[in-house]
Structures are given as C-alpha cells and as structure tokens.
Structure 1
Amino acid sequence: MDFDFSEEQRLLGETVDRFVADRYDFAQREAILAQGEGWSADVWCALAELGLLGVGFAEADGGFGGGGIERMIIAEAFGRGLLLEPWLATVVLAGGALRRAGTAEQKEARIGAIIAGERIMVLAHVEPQGLRHTRDARALAVAHGEGYRITGEKIAVLHGGSAHELVVSARVGDETGLFLVDVDSPGVSRETVRGYDGVPVSTIRFEDAPAEALGAADEGRRVLAAVLDDAIAVLTAEAVGAMTETLRLTGDYLKTREQFGVALASFQALQHRMVDMYVQVELSRSAAIHAALACDDPSGGGTLHIAAAKAQAGRAGRLVGQNAIQLHGAIGFTAEHKVGHLFKRLAAIDALFGDADHHIDRIAEAGGLPPLS
C-alpha cells in the first residue's frame, strides 16, 4: 500500500512519539500500574494539554478534528508505550457515541469537559450473553417521566470504575437505544478488576437506574456499529505499535545476547524467525491503514475490511508475541521485562470486541470481503 501522511499528521506523530518517550518509559508505566486507579491523572491532564483528548471532536465543539488516520497515529504510539489511560474508552468509544448521537445540549454539557480531561465517560455495551448479541441488548430501558429507567448488566466495561458517566446500550421495544447514566445514580453498582494486561474492567449492574436518551432509539444500532468499527480500527493500530516495539526489543536482545561466543543474531534460523515477525507486523500495518481510512467512509461499507484488519492483527500479535518470548528465553517471562507485558496487551487486544476467529466468521457469513474502494 502506497500511503503518505500529511504534514499535520507527521507533526502529530512526532508529538505523540515524543510524549511517549519522555513520559511513558517502562519504569514510569510500572509506577503508574502500581497506583490505585491503574492509570495516571497527571498523564491524562498532559494528554489534554497536547490536544489528544480532542481528536475526532469537531473544531466547533473545541476539538482537534481529525478522523481515522489521526486516531491510528495516536494509537500506534500508545501501543509502543503500553499506555494505561482511558483514551480508547473515553475519546473513541463514549466520545464517538456522543458526537454521533448527542443533541446540541448533550454535546455542549460534556465534550468540553472530556477534551479538558475533567470528565471520564465510558461505553457499557457488552453483556454476559456474548459479543455476537451486543448490538441487540438485553438490558431493558423503560420510559419513566421525561426520561428512562434501565435494568440489566454490562460486563468488560473498560475503565468503568473511573467513569463519571456511562453510555449504555439498552433495548427499547424492538430497538436498541443508547442512554446516558450517571454512575452515582441510585440503582447503579460497579465491580472492578484488573485485566491480565493491567487495564481495569468493570461489571456494572443497573436496577431501575435513571437514564437520559442519547439520540433516537432507532439510531442506537447504527451508532453503536460505527463506534465499534472506530474502536476496532484503533485497537488494530495499537497492536501494530505493540508489535513494532516487541520486534525492536527482540532484535536488540539477539544482537547483544551471546551463545557459543557469538551473538544470537548471527544464527540464520533466528534471523528467519525475525523476518517472519517483521512480515506480520508490516501486513498488520497496511491493514491498520486501510481500516483507519474505512472508518471515514460515510457509507459504512468498510466494516468488513476493518474486521479483516482486526483478524490480521490478532493472529499476527500471537505469532510475534510467542516468538519474542521464546527468543528472549527465561527473561521474557519475567514481570521486569517489557516484552511479556507487550504480549499480554496483544492478547488482550485480540480478545477485545471479537478475536480473530470472530471477525473471520463475520467475513465468511457475509460471503467474503467486498472489493477495495
């Protein structure tokens, strides 16, 4: 794929790369991981100062603008640094739903606070019955006065324990709508644990919890599908960043570690392993670029290509991560080495919003990929 960034996109990439290098080396990340929330409010404020929380929001709303490519650039850098902050949860998922479905009043009340780093909103949409049924929620919303009341359960809510407000999918008659729920409202309870990659996830239960409709009920499925496509494309780009860093660390290790008086990098069999890893990283990079471009297709016709990119990154992440652990030997299993943390994040990315097999099934059920536009 022949693709060049614009000057503005190159500057954005340089800014994010510099931030990750200066503020998010492995030791700094480990210190953040040890904190109670599992992410840093100081880093979050710094991201706000750089304008990175405004990506995707319209300039008229105080945002940075930008689309799929800008999100890809940021996510790839965050993948290299293994950022723990709720950028995906707040800016891409909840923020994506808000900017697509929110009324002018709802946007005015929330977008500025999100961009300033003062408000954490997250999307609660996955239910215990599994991902395939996510767009047809079982959580139930019932009209009550001028608003709604929601009853149901959501699982795997990214950063749900840190949220001030939730965007919740729920059934309204035969439709799936989106709703705004304050986490401090009566009838809302949360249980939060750390995922194996260190990212906090929550199970959230609603018992007749008060809610405000976000957009029209018959628009919920469409908005949710578009938001999930954006998130899947972002995760693909993050996986590319994590794989790139894994490849770099593994190459450096093979150049310095010696056996039989020579560097491991001199062994041809190990060089072949590195080439296999490199090929998968670059295939995933091309897929991530195409997925990012597909996110900005107003027809929504690129959704299966986004699914294909996620499948590619999921399988590539496993190959790259497994080979990196084996080539590092015992040190690759230790908590003190970054490569193991990268592999755990790659495994988590594969599982989020459908693993490689899930997305391959989606493509097969649709009769294959449509022609590239």
Structure 2
Amino acid sequence: MDLGFTEMQELLKNSAREFLEAECPEQLVRDMEEDDSGYSPALWSQMAEQGWQGLLIPEEHGGAGFDFLDFCVLVEEFGRALVPGPFMSSVLGGAVPILEGGSDDQKAQYLPGIASGDLIFTLAQTEPSARFDEEGIQASATVDGNNVTISGTKLFVPDANVADYMVVAARSGAGVTLAIVPTDQDGVTVNQLLTIARDKQCEVVLDGATGELLGADGGGWDILGPVMQKYAVAECAYMVGLAQMDFEISVDYAKERVQFGRPIGSFQAIQHKCADMVTDVDGSRFIMYKAAWSLNTDQDDAQMAVNMAKAWTSEATRRVVAHGQQIHGGIGFTKDYKIQLYYRRQKRAELAWGDSDHHRELVADQLGI
C-alpha cells in the first residue's frame, strides 16, 4: 500500500487549490448560505470545464475516467475551500449508482449530462427514521416493467431543491428497489430544512411519483452498498480538508493575536492545542486514504476500513474544529470570523452517512463483539 500521491494526483491537488482560492472565496461561501439554491451556476459551469463532475465517469460517457483515490484528492480540496453546491450529490448520488447498476442505455442517457454539469442528481435514501440500514427504507414502490411508482417521505436529501433527478430507494414486494425519478412532476414535493451548516438538505414527499427502474427489482441494496461506502469516505476526505484549513487559520491567529504583551501562540497551552490538532489532521488523512485505497483496489477488508475511517475522522476533526474555536476565544463564535464556517460544516459531515457511534457498531459487528 503506497499512499503517496502520484504526479497526476499532485497536479490535480495543486490545480484544484489554485482554482478554488481564486473562484471560491469566503464571500461566495457566505453568499451561498443565504441563497435559496445554495450554489453558483457560474462556478458550477467552471467546475464542469475543469472536468470535475465527470472525474469518476468513463471517457466513453464524457468523463475523465479517474479513480476513487483521485476523487478523494479533489474532495479534500473542496473541504479546504468549503465549496458549496451539489457536487457530491450529483457525482456520488447520481453517477455512481448509475455506474453500479444502470443499463447501457441509462449510462448513455444520464452520465454525459452529469459530466458536463447539465444534469444535477441526488440520492434520496434516508427517511424520518434516520436509519442507514436496509430496514430503514420503507417508502413503497410498485414496479411495472421498467416503470416504478413511489410513495413515501425521504428526509435529509442533499440538494433536492436544485436536482433534476433523484435516485430514490424504496421497497417493492421484491425488496429494496432503486428508481431514477424526475423532480419536475406533481408527485414530488421538496421542502428545504434549516440546518446548522446552512446546506441545502431537504424533505422530499413522494405521492405517486413515477420513475425509471435502476437495476433489478429488489436489487437496490446491492447497488447502494458501494455507493454508501464511497459517500462515507468522501465525507471523510471533505472533513480532512476543512480540518487542515481550520488548523492553518488557527495557527495564523495564534501568531497574530497578542495578549499579555506577546502572541498567544507562545503560551504552552495554545501550543498543546495546535499539536493535538495537527496530530488529528494527519491521522485522519492517513486513515481516510487507506479506506479510499481499500475501495479502489477492492480489498477484502474494505468495509472495515470505511467504517474505521468514518468513526475516527468524525471524532478527530470534531476535536480539531473545537480547538480552533477555543484558540480564537469568544470572537470565534461570531459570524464575522470565518472559523465558524468550518465548525458548522464539520458537524454536518460528521453526521452524514453515520456518526462515529454508528460506524463503531459496524466495526464491532464485523469483529463479532
């Protein structure tokens, strides 16, 4: 296992950082918190020109044909810049399920649009029970050939307010079934939720919504397995990026903030916090990339690696952003300072696809304890 970046990955990281520093400044992040859509169409188009929406999509469908490790390199930079918008929703919630279970016709129909940024997808899996297991899917599905009719409520659906299509998980007589559902129909009602990160999570009420079968009737859970694995690791990559930036901001502040006649960074208590922060950031980066490598190379223990990464990274990055707040003192809790942006988004990512307790339980189950 070699977790060092290849020349291509270094190029991807450096070019992404340069681009996002120029095109996704702090003010844009703040503006998108107040914007109903939650993303900038101009930035979205520029990202598509970079080929990012198509990073995981094969070249024959208009993508770049990169692998999941490359994708995590990019998502780490997204976390650093707090990029707003439906990027992970569209790629991981749309392209990956279609790649995993879609027919050749579905791949040809939808993947080029995702890669170009013309189509926005999201995944509607969780329900009011907030469970991530198979039993948590209780929305009803009626399958008639290639057509699916769905009724039920989906909760915490990211970016459903701007999505053109949703990959919806529901339960038919054969089991969990997936369908590609257009959002522009009478049977779909989308209500935005108010969240700590001001991201665009939604309640989606489906009342006889119609869609196209994705995969086999009853075969949806087999498709969702790889999707959930990649989504969890991508959230880890996002948290690593934001924790790294939170650490850098806090160190810079400790060098500049003068108290008792000297920078607060000269006090041992602050130095200890900074040392703990960098340890947690580096540990999170290692375990995240190990999980990404395990998925990329189809290791037998990939599921364990994913659960360990999400459990550790969720807690470690929480400690990082908490230290960042404490180093800033009371001023860090005001919206005038950008450190709070990282604190709030860490909390969102920590809970996404299961918190540390959820993933520790999955590790315990695999160990038989």
| TM-score bucket of the superposed structures, by smaller chain | over 0.9
SS in 1 for 2:114: helix
1:19, distance to aligned residue in structure 2 (A): 1.2
Do the aligned residues in 2 keep the contact of 1:154 with 1:205 (CA within 8 Å)?
yes
- What CA deviation, in whole Å up to 9, does each residue of 1:127-165 have, x standing for no partner? 112224356521111124651211111100000111111
Counterpart in the other structure of 2:332: 332
Counterpart in the other structure of 1:308: 308
TM superposition score normalised by structure 2: 0.96
Matched, 1:53 2:53: yes
Do the aligned residues in 2 keep the contact of 1:195 with 1:201 (CA within 8 Å)?
yes
Counterpart in the other structure of 1:42: 42
Counterpart in the other structure of 1:216: 216
**Cα 1:135–1:79 shift into 2, 3 Å:** farther
SS in 2 for 1:160: coil
SS in 2 for 1:274: helix
Counterpart in the other structure of 1:158: 158
Counterpart in the other structure of 1:363: 363
Counterpart in the other structure of 2:94: 94
Amino acid corresponding to residue 140 of structure 1 in structure 2? S
- 1:136 & 1:328 partners in 2: Cα distance? 41
- What CA deviation, in whole Å up to 9, does each residue of 1:252-301 have, x standing for no partner? 00001111111111111211111011111110000111111122233664
- What CA deviation, in whole Å up to 9, does each residue of 1:304-333 have, x standing for no partner? 211111111111121111111111011110
- 1:201 & 1:139 partners in 2: Cα distance? 19
**Cα 1:352–1:11 shift into 2, 3 Å:** same
- 2:269 & 2:136 partners in 1: Cα distance? 49
Do the aligned residues in 1 keep the contact of 2:159 with 2:201 (CA within 8 Å)?
yes
1:234, distance to aligned residue in structure 2 (A): 0.5
SS in 2 for 1:179: strand
Do the aligned residues in 1 keep the contact of 2:168 with 2:180 (CA within 8 Å)?
yes
- What CA deviation, in whole Å up to 9, does each residue of 1:177-200 have, x standing for no partner? 110111122321111134211210
Structural RMSD (CA): 1.7
Counterpart in the other structure of 2:113: 113
Gaps of 5+ in 2: none
1:352, distance to aligned residue in structure 2 (A): 0.6
Matched, 1:266 2:266: yes
**Cα 1:164–1:132 shift into 2, 3 Å:** closer
Do the aligned residues in 2 keep the contact of 1:317 with 1:343 (CA within 8 Å)?
no
Matched, 1:281 2:285: no
Gaps of 5+ in 1: none
Counterpart in the other structure of 1:70: 70
Query: Comparing 1-10 with 165-174, which one deviates more in the overlay?
Result: 1-10
- What CA deviation, in whole Å up to 9, does each residue of 1:86-138 have, x standing for no partner? 11100112211011111111111111111111111110000112224356521
Query: Comparing 135-144 with 240-249, which one deviates more in the overlay?
Result: 135-144
Matched, 1:195 2:189: no
Do the aligned residues in 2 keep the contact of 1:136 with 1:171 (CA within 8 Å)?
no
- Give % identity: 29
- 1:299 & 1:263 partners in 2: Cα distance? 48
Do the aligned residues in 1 keep the contact of 2:134 with 2:221 (CA within 8 Å)?
no
- 2:37 & 2:106 partners in 1: Cα distance? 27
Aligned residues: 369
- 2:267 & 2:146 partners in 1: Cα distance? 71
Matched, 1:297 2:273: no
Do the aligned residues in 1 keep the contact of 2:3 with 2:290 (CA within 8 Å)?
no
